[in-house]
Structure formats: C-alpha cells, structure tokens
C-alpha cells in the first residue's frame, strides 16, 4: 500500500470532549508488527469515559480497543499470521501501552499491531463475532478466573450492559442453575436481549428485585453476584442478593465488581462483615491463557452473539454510535472504518 493518509477517530487532547475525526498518516510497520485492515471496532463504554475524561488515556490517540480484522501487511519477522489471515489482539502491549487507549487503536481503516499480542481467528469464525473477543476475555476472567462459577450455582447479574449480558451467557455455559438479571425499567431493550441469551429471571431495580431472588432461592440468596452497573443502587442490590453466612466459616456469597471508574460508592460494611460476604474486583485478564480460552470458545460457537450485536455504523457516524450507546439503545455496536462487504 502506498504511503498516504486516512481518517481516524482520535482523542486529540486532555479534557472533556476533544474526540474528533482527523486526517493522519497511514501506519508504517516494523519487522515484528502487522498492519491490520480493520473490519470492525466495537463501541465500548470505556470510549465514552475517555470522551468524558473519566478513564485513563494518553492524547493524542486513535481510539478503539475492541476490534477484528485481517493481516494486510506482515513484518518480515512475524510468524503468527500471514497476509489475509483473520486475527484479533490483546490490547495490553506491555510497558503501559494499551491499544486504543494509550497507543493508536482501531477507529481507523488500518492499525499497527505488535506480533506478541496477536491471536489468529479460525477461518470459519465471522469477523463480527471475533470483534467480541475482548469482552469474552474480560468475562472469562470475571466468571472463571475471579469467580469460579460452577454447576448448580445461582448467579445474579446487576446491570444489563454488554458486560452484564455477556456475564449471563458465561454463567449459563458454566452450568449456573439460575441467572437473575437486574436492570432499570428503561433498560427494557437490553433486558430482553439478556433473556434471549439465557437469563432465567428479568427483574427491575425499582421493584425491589432482592425479594424475588430470596423467594426463588428459599431465602438463601445467590452464590455469585456480578455488579456491572457501576451505581449506588446496583451495589446495594448486590449486597442484598448475595448469599449470607451469619454462622460458620462464611464464604458463601461472592460479589464481583467489574467497573466503577471514579464513582464514589457507599457500602454498608456491617452487611458485608456480618454476612461474611466475599468482595472481589475484576480487571483485565491473565494474558495469553485467557485469550486462548476466548478463541477456543469462539471456535466452538459456544455463545449466542447475534442478539448482542444491535447496530453497525460507518466511521463518520461515530457521534450517533456514541449517543446510542449512552442512551442504552445499543448493546454491542460496531464501527466499520472500511465499510462492510469487503470480506466474508
């Protein structure tokens, strides 16, 4: 490909806002890098937080950290992929370098990717599905590496956003007996997606969902609660729905926090200590091991991903894409910097 320029969606400087389409040079690659032709970049809540100056980043930077594409050009030392291969990549490149956060990401037709973070995608897996690899990785870390959900467990998911809905699916894959999904009444569209992918009970935050959880579990509560709402009320629901152990060794109820990002949340520690609840955070993943698990799950078609993919946008429609995610009109939407239809 000849040297030239391309349009990229960038955080141009620090502060609230400052996200705009810019003309930038088309990337050049080194011997250990791959030039990806981007099929899709998933619109993520983290992108909105960067726009709001509530997430770490280094400006100027091209955004987009959930992505899939094909190897357009391969450095001379690269062995993991060949030109034309489908692939995804871990966004953590080491030494504080995060694709789409601190170094240039996928809201552009082409992006430069270090070989060490690349994972080839089987030919039969669609690039739309592959674009959800990063959320699958984060959910695997949450459900398996941090929570260890097992057959017969009851699981409550608070917040029907992309991570919450992915958590519903993963809990069912792990053999959860019942999965309760809690959301606001204006989350109805997302709650229905949650039902399509496996939620057994849809509960409204405004209606006191903990009563239903306790009734269904014979007053015991859930072994695991995934708090994905990043809200004060959501945290209280998590505590109220978790299985308490007022006597004995405890450890019956586990609450996992997936993301808060600067919000101050008040927690009643009496409820936590007297109920002997286990509170854990979940962030990132365990590197290669987690990514290989995610690619295997995609390869085997374990998840029902179609209901989650709610929209597709061109790069110049990014403002609509961001607005629709913020308004909860989308679950997982993709921006296609090169348009659609150029690859199977």
- Per residue in 138-162, pLDDT (tens digit) is 999 888 888 889 999 999 999 999 8
Whether 287 is covered by a domain: the verdict is no
145 and 125 in a common domain: no
Number of independent structural domains in the chain: 2
Flag whether 122 is in a domain.
yes
Model confidence over 255-269: pLDDT tens digits? Answer: 988 865 657 888 888
Are 158 and 276 contained in the same domain? yes
Q: Do 164 and 276 have their domain in common?
A: yes
Specify the pLDDT at position 258: 84
Range of the domain at 53: 5-132+305-336
Please report the pLDDT score of residue 275 as a whole number.
87
Residue 161 covered by a domain: yes
Q: Check which CATH number belongs to the domain holding 176 and give it.
A: 3.40.50.720
Question: Considering the domain boundaries, does residue 343 fall inside one?
Answer: no
> In the prediction, which pLDDT does 230 show?
84
Q: Which two tokens stand for residue 293?
A: 């698990």
Note down pLDDT in tens along the chain; length 344 residues: 446 999 999 999 999 999 999 999 999 999 999 999 999 999 999 999 999 998 999 999 999 999 999 999 999 999 999 999 999 999 999 888 999 999 999 999 999 999 999 999 999 999 999 999 999 999 998 888 888 899 999 999 999 998 999 999 999 999 999 999 999 999 999 999 999 999 999 999 999 999 999 999 999 999 999 999 888 899 999 999 999 877 666 667 889 888 656 578 888 888 888 888 888 888 777 678 889 999 999 999 999 999 999 999 999 999 999 999 999 999 999 999 999 877 75
The answer on 90 and 122 residing in a single domain is yes
Residues 143 and 263 in one domain: yes
Assess whether 189 and 146 both reside in one domain: yes
On whether residue 111 sits in a domain, the answer given is yes
Identify whether 36 is part of a domain: yes
Residues 115, 185, single domain; the answer is: no
Q: 148 and 256: one domain?
A: yes
CATH number for the domain spanning 114: value is 3.90.180.10
The answer to whether position 314 is within a domain reads yes
pTM of the model: 0.91
* pLDDT computed for residue 2 by the predictor: 46
For residues 73 and 168, state if they share a domain: no
| Nearest-angstrom CA–CA distance, 192 and 81 | 39
Instruction: Determine, yes or no, domain membership for 300.
Output: no
Q: Are residues 311 and 221 in the same domain?
A: no
**In the beta sheet, which residues pair with residue 155?**
179, 224
Same domain, 19 and 112: yes
From 281, 296, 327, the end of a domain falls on: 281
Give the integer Cα–Cα distance in Å for 67 and 135.
10
| Three-state helix/strand/coil letters over the chain | CCCCEEEEEEECCCCCCCEEEEEEECCCCCCCEEEEEEEEEECCHHHHHHHCCCCCCCCCEECCCCEEEEEEEECCCCCCCCCCCEEEECCECCCCCEECCCECCCCCCEEEEEHHHEEECCCCCCHHHHCCHHHHHHHHHHHHHHHCCCCCCEEEEECCCHHHHHHHHHHHHCCCCEEEEEECHHHHHHHHHHHHCCCCEEEEHHHCHHHHHHHHCCCCCECEEEECCCCHHHHHHHHHHECCCCCCCCCCCEEEECCCCCCCCCCCHHHHHHCCCEEEECCCCCCHHHHHHHHHHHHHCCCCCHHHEEEEEEHHHHHHHHHHHHCCCCCEEEEECCCCCCCC
Residues 165 and 87 reside in one and the same domain? no
């Amino acid at each position: 490909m000849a040297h030239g320029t391309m349009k990229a969606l960038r955080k141009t400087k620090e502060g609230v806002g400052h996200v705009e389409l810019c003309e930038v040079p088309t990337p050049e690659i080194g011997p250990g890098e791959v030039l990806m032709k981007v099929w899709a970049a998933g619109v993520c809540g983290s992108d909105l937080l960067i726009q709001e100056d509530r997430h770490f980043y280094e400006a100027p930077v091209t955004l987009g950290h959930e992505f899939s594409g094909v190897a357009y050009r391969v450095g001379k030392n690269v062995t993991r992929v060949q030109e034309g291969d489908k692939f995804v990549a871990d966004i953590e490149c080491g030494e504080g370098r995060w694709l789409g956060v601190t170094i240039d990401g996928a809201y552009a037709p082409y992006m430069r990717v270090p070989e060490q973070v690349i994972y080839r995608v089987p030919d039969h897996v669609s690039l739309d599905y592959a674009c959800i690899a990063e959320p699958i990785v984060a959910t695997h870390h949450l459900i398996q590496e941090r929570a260890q959900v097992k057959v017969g467990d009851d699981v409550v998911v608070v917040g029907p956003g992309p991570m919450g809905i992915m958590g519903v699916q993963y809990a069912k894959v792990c053999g959860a007996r019942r999965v309760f999904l809690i959301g606001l009444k204006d989350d109805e569209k997302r709650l229905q997606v949650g039902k399509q992918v496996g939620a057994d009970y849809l509960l409204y935050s405004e209606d006191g969902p903990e009563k239903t959880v306790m009734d269904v579990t014979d007053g015991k509560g859930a072994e695991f609660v995934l708090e994905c709402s990043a809200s004060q009320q959501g945290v209280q629901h998590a505590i109220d729905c978790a299985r308490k152990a007022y006597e004995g060794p405890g450890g019956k109820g586990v609450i996992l926090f997936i993301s808060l990002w600067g919000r101050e949340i008040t927690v009643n520690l009496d409820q936590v200590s007297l109920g002997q609840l286990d509170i854990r955070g979940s962030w990132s993943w365990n590197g290669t091991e987690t990514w290989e698990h995610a690619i295997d799950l995609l390869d085997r078609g374990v998840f029902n991903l179609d209901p989650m993919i709610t929209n597709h946008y061109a790069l110049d429609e990014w403002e609509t894409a961001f607005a629709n995610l913020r308004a909860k009109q989308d679950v997982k939407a993709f921006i296609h910097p090169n348009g659609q239809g150029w690859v199977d």
